Amino acid sequence: MKRKMRKYVVVLLGVFFTLFGIAVIALNFYRIQINNEFMEKAVPVEGEIVDISHTSSGTDSDTYDYYASYEFNGKEYKHVKLSVGQTNLYVGREMILLIDPDNPVNVNTEENILLERKILFGIGGFALVVGMGILISTFLRKLKHKKLLENGKHIYATVDSIELDMQRTYMDRHPYVVNCSYEDISTKEKYFFKSHPITFNPNEFYRPGDKIDVYIDQYNKDKYYVEVRDKSEDGFM
């Protein structure tokens, strides 16, 4: 069962990133609507940053709360926490604050609203591109493999080596690739092939010198498919 689940790891990752990206972008549109409604009624006033308090330390950066003082409708508001995530603030900085007239302690800044929009679009867009890229590439690879299995020339290549693909990471692990070669007896020309990333350990089923199935496009030998089988599912283990 575990081996079967490994086949779907990449697809699940693609689905996760795609759905996460869509959710973040949807959240951003919702936040844009909320912020637009806020800005339509907000009143700009001059204020001053009077305090900055450290809230937590993260692996990448620290987070802080910012407090400002300002006057609105003849009333002075002191040490009001701002709803901001920007980091270019300092005690004593004077700036234009956006005040909710129905709730004068609800304070934001135009700069922060734009920053929030960019961050959410950036995160959502990046996740969506990654997720869709994984799903599209997986679909195209499977389509290519299917066509080669149906129409390609079948040969038995020799396994040369099995190694980790250090350029990729799936679920905090590097996948495996199988390198193999084949010598055309008639032309004495030697061809080298490399499998797609494998999520299970092929060392359990293949050793250097073993034969492995390869399907080659009869018109373009650069298009091929190395069939690395999990032989435990074939009843060999």
The helix/strand/coil state of 104 is strand
Q: What is the pLDDT of residue 218?
A: 83
Q: Assess contact for 221 and 152: CB atoms under 8 A.
A: no
Q: What is the pTM of this model?
A: 0.67
Instruction: Report, as ranges of residue numbers, the positions in the chain whose pLDDT lies below 70.
Output: 1-7, 57-61, 86, 171, 232-237
* Cβ contact 226:193 at 8 Å: yes
pLDDT tens across 98-138, in order? 999 999 999 999 988 998 999 999 999 999 999 999 899 88
**HEC per residue, 154-168:** EEEEEEEEEEECCCC
pLDDT of residue 21: 96
Contact present, 80 and 70 (Cβ < 8 Å)? yes
Whose tokens are 């299995």? That residue is: 149
pLDDT for residue 130: 93
Residues 6+ apart with CB under 8 A from 9: 170, 171, 199
At 229, list the tokens.
């089988």
The tokens describing 82, both together, are: 């701002």
